[in-house]
Structure 1
Amino acid sequence: MFFNRRGSKKYAYITARVRAMKSKLIQREVFPKMMNMDLAEITRFIGESEYKQDVDELAQKYSGIDLVEHALNQNLARTYRKLLRVSQDEPHYLITEYLRYWDIWNIKTILRGKYYGAPLEEIQEAVVAAGQLGYRQLVSIASMESINDIKVALENTPYHSAVSDYQGGMLSTVENNLDKLYYSRILSSVGKSKGEKLSLKFIKTEIDLKNLKTLFRTKKANLPRDEIMELLISGGAELKDGDLRRLVSLSWPDFIKSMEDYSYWSALSEVISEDMPSLIDMEAELDKYAMKYSSKVSHYYPLSILPIFDYIIRKNNEIKNLRMIARGKESALSNDIIKRHLVM
């Protein structure tokens, strides 16, 4: 993709806007305090924050945990659309490509809902219109009765090739195709300048972290090697194709031991073992690693796409934390369990 204006000037305005938006994120020390609130107090708290407009708009239709869930989803979509609205040229293009994650997420959500026979209203309310597919378009696709109709609706989108062979049934292949399509697009969208090379490493590191989660899940479940390889994504920073093939071939104990060969060991060393009962702590630590890494690299090139990617990640993490606390309180989970799921 060619743009007339090169250099850092094109990022000055959008990064200034993002700094202002980032300053309004909930501070990490607030989340432990929220764990001492009940659901009504949590709803009131977010209703007095940057989520006020969303809570006010939806309070007539929803209450309790449903109000919190929908307010969070609406705010996330509204926030990301704002990034697109205030950006132009190269920043706009890269933000668009990065936010296609949500188109992929929504297509998966719709297909899963169809596969499991979820009520139409439940599927429609689960979509988050934060990508290029608008809310009305997503609601329309969700209302379609056949998989073929859904594929036809996606014909004029970049996603059709990933779903074209899907005939219904098990979702792993089509979901994997969608993930691979997303990362192939974002990898090819980043240029070759010094700052853009760091952006490329950022995306490649994200691929590594996704592959690590997949490896832990599938190897702990003892899936066949070929099935695991099919689920992995090429293009990682440290986990090259040869590394992935080697890791897939290892026994579970040797796989755990092999993590010492990678920089991600610093995040994983305290939470993984041969007899680890759960993957929750592993996933949380990798998410924390992603947050720390995005923050670090965003400071290297402040007039680049990196601070914007960092904000996108931090905003989504804020939503996840708020949702986890609210759901935890609704389900009467202990604070210790809730805290294990938070990324701060």
Structure 2
Amino acid sequence: MRLLQRLKHGLNSQKSRPQGHSNYAYTTARVRAMKSKLLPQETYPRLMNMQIAEITRFIQEVEYKEDVDQLARLYEGVDLIEHALNRNLAVTFTKLISISEGELNFLISEYLKKYDIWNIKTILRGKRCGASTDEILEAVVTAGRLSYTFTSELAAKSTYEDVIAALSTSEYYLILKDYNGENLSEIENLLDKKYYYDLFQSIGNPKSKDRKLFNKFIRTDIDLKNLVTIFRLKKYGISDPSAADLLIEGGLKLKIRDIERMLSLSFEDFLSELEKTPYWEEISSCCSVKMDSLIDLETRIKKLRLKSAESFSHVYPLSIVPIMDYILSKENEVGNLRMIIRGKAVGLSDEEIKNQLVI
């Protein structure tokens, strides 16, 4: 059965409607205060000059103090920072859900279900490569609907079959039941498609300003995700039409049929086609036929995503957009901190780490 049919016939395909009014003024005011506490750009060069123990002390003095204090008796070094960052992200996003109401709460909750998808994928990957429960839990972020207790229990399961059995009553089971231990990339792709399908179901036919803004935000996100995917396919010389299954439908500026057509083009012609898109200006300086790595490109796309959300946030200050802007900015801060500590732990040079920071 095709994905769309499977989703339509799923146990949880019917979305509950939000109840009550949306408290935009209150929530956006709280979010502005939260965003003001994010690390300023000039912090990152300072962190680059610190050792891991010094970075731990630094983040303990700012917004991550409670997280480090709570976990210091269980972990140390890089492991402590990893778990503290993940805990902080989960606590922060759970707070967004708790302070919002009505439609706003509904849309934020639906958006943050991406962390349920992330955690399920992480656990299945861990089971496939024989990772320990602690190693798996280093990478999970319980900011969605699956609780930390339940997610921890999933991570502790002996086999992937046990994990899927524990999820048999979840909305993800219709996809997960087809996992055979070998087709993980296919399952992950279907989970991603389900996530965006459900988001569009939640938005419905957007008539209110807020739903229209949220719809545009999600569709832009799909464009940028597809852009990274097509570059990866082109870099590795994959032009098989079946590779188009990796693309997500619903983008704002990049239509699936246009991206599919690009798959068959030479890399040079592919870049020429991209020049016609609104994203070219931001990524053109790192795109060439002789591209050795996609790191710079992916960093530029992340910056473009942040820049787009921030610009919309200023135009629509009393809407869901400032909240989406904050979520992306918070994720980016955690991603930068993680990149620095991981880079230092494996001995990357400062230049290599710097090139992967999104500042």
Structure 1 length-normalised TM: 0.95
Residue 60 (structure 2) pairs with residue 79 (structure 1)? no
Cα shift readout 1:212-237 (whole Å, capped 9, x = no counterpart): 11111112112242332010000001
Residue 92 (structure 1) aligns with: 105
Partner of 1:11: 24
For 1:60 and 1:133, the matched residues in 2 are separated by: 25
Counterpart contact for 2:247–2:256, Cα < 8 Å? no
**How many Å separate the matches in 1 of 2:210 and 2:141?**
31
Q: Where does residue 62 of structure 2 map in the other structure?
A: 49
Question: Would you say 1:343 and 2:351 are equivalent positions?
Answer: no
**Of residues 155, 168, 172 in structure 2, which corresponds to 1:159?**
172
Matches within 5 A, 1:261-300: 261-300=276-315
Q: Distance in 1 between matches of 2:346 and 2:59?
A: 19
Structure 2 residue identity aligned to 1:284: T
- Is 2:175 aligned against 1:150? no
Please state how far the C-alpha of 1:88 moved relative to its aligned partner.
1.7
Shift of 1:4: 5.6
Structure 1 residue aligned with 2:10? none
For 1:206, give the aligned amino acid: D
152-161 or 79-88: which moved more? 152-161
Q: After the TM superposition, which of the residue ranges 125-134 and 233-242 deviates more from structure 2?
A: 125-134
- Which of 192, 208, 232 aligns to 1:217? It is 232
Letter in 1 for 2:105: H
Q: Distance in 2 between matches of 1:2 and 1:57?
A: 37
Identify which of 244, 250, 258 aligns with 2:259. 244
- Alpha-carbon shift at residue 37 of structure 1 (Å): 1.6
Does 2:196 align with 1:183? yes
**Mapped partners of 1:124, 1:47: distance in 2:** 21
Pick the aligned partner of 1:321 from 299, 313, 336.
336
Structure 2 match to 1:202:
217
- The code of the aligned residue for 1:142 comes to A
Deviations 1:144-193 (A, max 9, x none): 23433322322332222222211211311100001001111112222322
Alignment partner of 1:270: what SS?
Answer: helix
Matched, 1:308 2:308: no
The change in CA–CA distance for 1:144 and 1:62 in structure 2 (over 3 A counts) is closer
**In 1, distance between residues paired with 2:139 and 2:113?**
17
Displacement of 1:84: 1.1
Instruction: Classify the secondary structure of the residue corresponding to 1:269.
Output: helix
Cα distance in 2 for partners of 1:88, 1:295 equals 23
8 Å contact 2:114–2:195 — kept in the other structure?
yes
Give the 3 Å change call, closer, same or farther, for CA 5–121 of structure 1 in structure 2.
closer
Alignment partner for residue 28 of structure 1, among 38, 41, 44?
41
Matches within 5 A, 1:50-69: 50-69=63-82
1:224-243 equivalences in 2 (<5 Å): 224-243=239-258
Q: Residue type of the partner of 1:286?
A: I
Would the alpha carbon gap of residues 37 and 235 (structure 1) be closer, same or farther in structure 2, given more than 3 Å must change?
A: same
Aligned counterparts of 2:212 and 2:261: Cα–Cα separation in 1: 27
Q: Are the counterparts in 2 of residues 35 and 335 from structure 1 also a CA contact under 8 Å?
A: yes
Q: Which moved more, 1:83-92 or 1:115-124?
A: 115-124
Aligned partner of 2:127 among 101, 108, 114: 114
- Distance in 1, Cα, partners of 2:54 & 2:227: 37
- Which letter maps to 1:296? S
Offset at residue 86 of structure 1 (A): 1.2
8 Å contact kept, 2:309–2:321: yes
- Runs of 5+ unmatched residues, structure 2: 1-15
Supply the AA of the counterpart residue of 1:45. F
Provide the rounded CA distance (Å) in 2 between the counterparts of 1:81 and 1:296. 25
Q: How many residues align?
A: 342
- Residue 332 in 1 paired to residue 332 in 2? no
Q: Is the 8 A contact 1:195 1:301 kept in 2?
A: no
Shift, 1:2, TM fit:
4.1
Cα offsets for 1:298-340 (capped at 9, x unmatched): 1222111111111111000000001111122223322211111
Mapped partners of 2:17, 2:70: distance in 1: 41
- Check if 1:126 corresponds to 2:139: yes
Counterparts of 1:292 and 1:47 in 2: how far apart (Å)? 28
- Name the % identity: 51
Residues 67 and 2 of structure 1: CA distance in aligned 2, closer, same or farther (over 3 Å) = closer
Counterpart amino acid of residue 160 in structure 2: I
